[in-house]
């Protein structure tokens, strides 16, 4: 049963500062961005939250640019409200993080890409979030801000469990920073069809002096396959890397796939990554 | 909420979290925008908001405030839309017609001369239970061919 609209409220701050003040006053407010997750949940009646704060108009959270300040000079900064379409069209992201462009192209269809945001994908914290393995393999950082100030946390320490993260209720994700990535980037998503499909397994890989591999949909949160990557970094065989991978992920059975299927697909993806980035 | 809907300025007294789909159908009487799934899967509710194709079932009224909206009722007033509508008629792009408004709106921002692959990508978020898609792709290809040069730029604008 859809949640009746009369039960809902929406606050519409004009600035980020105003939005953060509203959240400081009432941390139970739920932010909304492109609404491609929130409105699905409202339609199903599965969202408990009734009171929302609108981020969509906050242009401070838009924009993709080369990092400017201090140590992060070489990083690129992607605003939380950047949509998949913004990412696909950004020459900067195309040049620096092609695997993120590849992942964005496979999210939903054009209508979802036009509205769904990077911040929403991270905050929604679904194990099947397509950008998450990319951000993990890229060694990204998440910029969080509350009325009290800003902090930057490594993406690989962002999630604490199934759909939980270090983000405090009064904090917003304002941006994602991606450092320069050394090596060839690779991305692959396996779903039931090519568009509008939730991932069964997806993998992002970076093949540089050190190899980095991250996999989605095989655990409660995105996982870095550190053991498998280490085997590859040290010049080990793909078979040994696959064995290492088997020991570090334990995917579950659910409505979309069985755990055994996911494990096999993950192994095959690892081999494809290695073959295709030679 | 104030919006320009199909070229007409409208002032509507609606809840900011009301789905744009319901605003169009219930408050504006524009029932050409269809609800298939209500969850972003089928694209039947596709409209253009400031030239960008979106699923109206996933857009709160607040996000259409101050925007220019085009629905199927207004598509024919733009030459790009008119060309697509005529091509759908001519090439059998519609059978039951439920998906058709969404298909046409999703195709409107596609650049003239787009490849079949680009057309498929643009329509990947639109489902049809009747045609098997081939006649839809044929219709869009034909509609994009007859699109006059001048209007292309506007239809492509984001
Ligand atoms: C048909 C369909 C297909 C889809 N396909 C895919 C797919 O292929 N791959 C995929 O990964 N996802 C997919 N999704 C899910 C969804 O589109 C993405 O997760 C999207 O990135 C969510 O972004 P949004 O801006 O729409 O988030 P919203 O729905 O606005 O918000 C989602 C959650 O994030 C929170 N939030 C949003 N922005 C912030 C912020 N800046 N700070 C703090 N919290 C925030 C909200 O409170 C909410 O809890 C699909 C959805 C649909 C309906
Ligand atoms: S009704 Fe909106 S996508 Fe199906
Ligand atoms: S013509 Fe019937 S759903 Fe497409």
Residue numbers in A near B125 (CB within 8 A): 108-112, 195-196
Closest to B2 in 3D by CA, of B51, B54, B55, B69: B69
Q: Is B139 on the interface with A (CB under 8 A)?
A: no
- Residue ending a domain, among B27, B43, B74, is B74
Q: Does ligand 3 lie within 6 Å of residue B97's CB atom? A: yes
Q: Which domain holds residue A134?
A: 59-178
Closest to B3 in 3D by CA, of B70, B91, B68, B96: B68
Find out whether A38 and A48 touch, Cβ atoms under 8 Å. no
Contact call for B124 and A8, based on CB within 8 A: no
The 3 state secondary structure assigned to A79-130 is ECCCEHHHHHHCHHHHHHCHHHHHHHHCCCCHHHHHHCEHHHHHHHCCCCCC
pTM for the predicted model, two decimal places: 0.95
Cα of A33 vs centre of ligand 1, distance in Å, is 8
Report how far apart, in Å, the C-alpha atoms of A38 and of each of A120, A179, A271 are: 9, 30, 36
Kindly state the helix (H) or strand (E) to which residue A244 belongs, with its residue range.
helix A238-248
Q: What's the pLDDT at A28?
A: 95
Q: Which domain holds residue B86?
A: 76-145
Alpha-carbon span B151 to B158, nearest angstrom: 14
* Domains: count for chain A: 3
Q: From the CA of B139, which ligand is nearest?
A: 3
CB neighbours of residue B129 within 10 Å: 11
Whether A188 and A259 share a structural domain? yes
Q: What's the pLDDT at A73?
A: 59
Whether A164 and A270 share a structural domain? no
Retrieve residue B119's tokens: 């057309």
Q: Does ligand 1 lie within 6 Å of residue A124's CB atom? A: yes
Sign of CA dihedral B103, B109, B112, B116: negative
Mean pLDDT of the residues in chain B: 93
Find out whether B143 and B83 touch, Cβ atoms under 8 Å. yes
Is position B23 within any domain?
Answer: yes
Whether B21 and B50 share a structural domain? yes
- Print pLDDT tens along chain A (278 aa): 788 899 999 999 999 999 999 999 999 999 999 999 999 999 999 888 999 999 999 999 999 999 765 555 589 999 999 999 999 999 999 999 999 999 999 999 999 999 999 999 999 999 999 999 999 999 999 999 999 999 999 999 999 999 999 999 999 999 999 999 999 999 999 987 777 777 889 999 999 999 999 999 988 999 999 999 999 999 999 999 999 999 999 888 887 788 899 999 999 999 999 999 99
Retrieve residue A27's tokens: 């941390």
Interface of B with A in 55-114 (CB under 8 A): 55, 57-60, 62-63, 106
Mean pLDDT of the residues in chain A: 94
Proportion of chain A above pLDDT 70, given as a percent: 97
Contact call for B46 and A39, based on CB within 8 A: no
Q: Does ligand 1 lie within 6 Å of residue A219's CB atom? A: no
Whether B80 and B69 share a structural domain? no
Is position B154 within any domain?
Answer: no
Is position B40 within any domain?
Answer: yes
Whether B122 and B62 share a structural domain? no
More confident residue, B138 or B146: B138
Residue numbers in B near A5 (CB within 8 A): 15, 17-19, 22
CATH number of the domain that residue B94 is part of: 1.10.150.120
- Residue ending a domain, among A178, A203, A228, is A178
Alpha-carbon span B20 to B30, nearest angstrom: 11
Is position B151 within any domain?
Answer: no
* Residues contacting A260, CB < 8 A, separation 6+: none
ipTM higher than the 0.85 cut? yes
| Nearest CA owner, ligand 3 atom 4 | B128
**For residue B151, what pLDDT band results from cuts at 50, 70 and 90?**
very low
Q: What's the pLDDT at B76?
A: 96
Contact call for A10 and B106, based on CB within 8 A: no
Contact call for A110 and B122, based on CB within 8 A: yes
* Domains: count for chain B: 2
Residue numbers in A near B124 (CB within 8 A): 109-110, 194-196
Is position B14 within any domain?
Answer: yes
Alpha-carbon span A94 to A81, nearest angstrom: 18
Find out whether B113 and B147 touch, Cβ atoms under 8 Å. no
Alpha-carbon span A224 to A35, nearest angstrom: 28
Report how far apart, in Å, the C-alpha atoms of B91 and of each of B94, B95, B109, B149 are: 8, 11, 20, 22
Whether A213 and A169 share a structural domain? no
| A69-116 pLDDT, tens digit each | 555 558 999 999 999 999 999 999 999 999 999 999 999 999 999 999
């Amino acid at each position: 049963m859809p949640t009746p609209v009369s039960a809902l409220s929406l606050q519409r701050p004009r600035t980020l500062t105003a939005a953060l003040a509203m959240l400081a006053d009432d941390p139970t407010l739920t932010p909304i961005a492109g609404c491609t997750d929130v409105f699905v949940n409202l339609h199903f009646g599965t969202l408990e939250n009734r009171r929302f704060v609108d981020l969509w108009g906050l242009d401070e959270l838009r924009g993709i640019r080369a990092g400017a300040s201090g140590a992060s000079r070489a990083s690129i900064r992607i605003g939380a409200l950047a949509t998949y379409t913004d990412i696909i069209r950004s020459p900067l992201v195309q040049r620096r993080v092609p695997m993120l462009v590849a992942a964005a192209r496979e999210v939903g269809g054009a209508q979802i890409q036009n509205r769904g945001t990077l911040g929403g994908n991270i905050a929604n914290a679904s194990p099947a979030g397509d950008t998450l393995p990319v951000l993990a393999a890229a060694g990204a950082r998440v910029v969080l801000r509350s009325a009290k100030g800003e902090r930057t946390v490594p993406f690989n320490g962002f999630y604490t469990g199934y759909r939980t993260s270090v983000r405090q209720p009064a904090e917003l994700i304002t941006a994602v920073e991606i450092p320069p990535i050394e090596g060839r980037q690779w991305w692959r998503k396996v779903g039931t069809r090519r568009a509008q499909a939730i991932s069964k397994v997806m993998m992002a890989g970076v093949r540089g002096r050190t190899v980095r591999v991250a996999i989605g949909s095989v655990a409660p949160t995105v996982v870095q396959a550190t053991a498998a990557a280490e085997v590859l970094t040290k010049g080990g065989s793909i078979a040994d890397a696959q064995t290492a991978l088997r020991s570090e992920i334990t995917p579950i059975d659910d409505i979309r796939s069985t755990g055994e299927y996911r494990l096999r697909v993950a192994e095959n993806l690892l081999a494809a990554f290695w073959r295709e980035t030679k | 909420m104030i919006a320009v809907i199909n070229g007409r300025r409208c002032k509507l007294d609606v809840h900011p979290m009301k789905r744009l789909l319901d605003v169009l159908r219930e408050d504006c009487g524009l029932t050409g925008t269809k609800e298939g799934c209500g969850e972003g899967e089928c694209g039947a509710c596709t409209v253009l908001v400031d030239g960008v194709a979106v699923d109206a079932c996933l857009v709160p009224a607040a996000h259409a405030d101050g925007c220019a909206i085009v629905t199927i009722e207004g598509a024919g007033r733009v030459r790009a839309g008119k060309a697509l509508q005529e091509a759908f008629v001519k090439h059998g792009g519609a059978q039951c017609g439920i998906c058709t408004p969404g298909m046409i709106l999703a195709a409107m921002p596609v650049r003239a001369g787009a490849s079949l692959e680009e057309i498929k990508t643009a329509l990947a978020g639109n489902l049809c239970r009747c045609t098997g898609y081939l006649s839809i792709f044929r219709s869009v290809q034909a509609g994009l061919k007859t699109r006059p040069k001048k209007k292309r730029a506007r239809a492509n604008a984001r």
